[in-house]
Structure 1
Amino acid sequence: MADPLDPLFKALESINEELSGLHIRLARVEDQQSISGAGGPGGAEGEGRPPGAPIVWRKLEDPERSDLWVEFTGWVFDIADQFELTVDQLPRDCWWLHGGVVEELTALWTSHRSAFEIKDDSGASVYLWHDAFARALDRISRSWLGECTNGYHQPRSRERWGTDAKLRATIIGAGPPPSRRSPGPENPDLLAS
């Protein structure tokens, strides 16, 4: 006759195996961080910023911001030369003046580092990076640059959203989008103004 506790013991064995596997993976991650000199989140290269860690320029403080900007700019130059980018794809004289372009390129840079510098990757991330790169180039030239492809910087014609207090008040006054329980904005007259 089978022991009624056998299913419980099997479940406990399975949990123990999973915990052992997690312990091994955690030890590997800790070893990688100590080898790269990880000193905590947000440190400069070699001081805790693992490959692929997100970078939000407006939240960085000097000297980290300046150090990363030099490294990032070098990467942009290398990629532009390696992939023979034309001024139609990335205007060399003003790409850094477009916040959206800097964001796109920063995302590409961090994902490039993640794809190419992490040793335990399957290799698919390299292919995915190239796919993301092609799509980002299309977005950059189509969406962000406007008339800058002729070699001269042309600021885009647009009004800043963040400085229009009346627009903000109108949108907030209109209320959130309708849900299944509410029919829509409480004051539909606000939408007509």
Structure 2
Amino acid sequence: MRTKDENKTKAIKHAVIELSQSEGLTNLTTAKVAKLAGVSPATIYLKYKDKTDMLSRIYEEVKTELHAGVQESILDAGDDVEAQLRAVLNYSVQQWHKYPKESEFINALWTNQELLDASAIESGNQKEGPLVDLFARIDANPAFINVPRVILEAFASLPGTVRQLASNNDQALIDQTIDLILKALKV
């Protein structure tokens, strides 16, 4: 029975991500999700309170999955903060390439936070973790200019956006984007 519930949960998650791409977040309804997932609307309401709860919980899950290797990429880069930031930016691009729909889903919700509940927004603004630690090291490093975290986050999303907009997976273009970001952030 447990596997059946997990399969339904996965189907709902997949349907939400697919519909967010094809219909947009505003036009996404629980009825459409249920139909695409092959579950009854009641099943969705057994798992989630409403559309906001559904989007919020799936947002948190997908964000966690996309960031699963961030710590390892930072550690692999050694002690140099610039190398760590470069590694995180490259990791971000790899995740966009590997999981484009999930990455777009996260980006769409982060730029439409009114669709998320307070818990999901807090999760997005996590107060701890490898990225927050890296941002603190950047802030404390005199080689970098002092910028608000939101600017660092925007810069961190830029290589993925460039990767998405480029007609091919041009690593030279990604490297150029990362070089420009580092140049903009350094004193």
* Shared fold (TM-score, shorter chain, > 0.5): no
Q: Which has the higher contact order (CA 8 A, sep 6+)?
A: 2
TM-score, reference length from structure 2: 0.33
Based on CA coordinates, which of the two structures has the bigger radius of gyration? 1
TM-score, reference length from structure 1: 0.32
